Amino acid sequence: MKKIVALVGANLAAALALIYLLSPGLFDVFSQPPVWMLLGLVVGFSLTIGALWLDYKLLFAKQEIHPVALKTDVQNRPEEYTQLLRQCLNKPFFRKDLEAGIDQIARFEKKQKTIQLLLKTGSKINADKCLTILTRVSDVFYENVRALATRAIVFDEDEYALFRAGKLELATEQARRQKEDFYTSVAQYTDEITNQNEEIILRIDQLSLELTRANTANKWDTDSILAMQHLDEYIRSTELTQNLEREVGEEVCSKIRR
């Protein structure tokens, strides 16, 4: 919508300016002294070129990614994560996972609110236990979102397009196989991230159902809620994987800096 408004506004402004400069009875550039006529023609030509350049940039030029800066000292809002993924949608290699991620954020936040409502009906002590785990769940979920966006931002889509078209110059067949393995591993990792977050959403659904049953039976011992135990175990294993990946990434970066 913003793109359409910008296109219409720029072209309309340029057209009105040209009408003013060229129409008899208004400025009428051709009836002015030579200096004013030349100035009017330069202005009119510049406006026309400017409007055409803007048309090209908005309609045909490849849009650069200017990702939203996520805050590190406070908790980011779901809208900011969604915006981050949307700004990466011009990377077709990741489009399926990015669109799934945007949908997952909306569903994840909705289900979180449902659980919070259910927790208000139980005891404060047990509710606090649940909320502690849910905070960790949210951290893991959005760590996956950041990982997905980061890979989309740094991915060389132009090189991948050349590779797919068979136009990427590679020295040997082995180099080509290695490049293909690299793209396959990137695709597998992004799918794994998407699947992890989908499983988190499923486990939250299971937890919501068990909390409903616990409320109905007036049993609010979180240690006996299997879904809570399973969610805790899953988050622990996922946190370990994320921490390992983070450590490996930091080690690689430190070696590059040396």
**For the chain, domain boundaries:** 2-59, 78-257
* Rounded CA separation 53/61 (Å): 10
CA dist 122 and 124 (Å) reads 7
Residue 42: the pLDDT is 74
Q: pLDDT digit string (tens) for 118-150?
A: 877 765 666 777 788 888 889 889 999 988 998
Residue-level pLDDT at 214: 61
| Contact of 83 with 102, CB cutoff 8 Å | no
Above 60 in pLDDT, residue 256? no
The pTM of the whole model exceeds 0.85: no
The answer to whether residue 96 scores a pLDDT higher than 90 is yes
For the chain, the first-to-last Cα distance in angstroms comes to 47
Residues 16-41 pLDDT 10s: 776 766 777 667 777 777 777 777 77
Return the DSSP state at 74.
S
Distance CA 240, CA 166 (A): 39
Query: Residues 246-253: what's their mean pLDDT?
Result: 45
The model's confidence at residue 198, banded by pLDDT at 50, 70 and 90, is very high
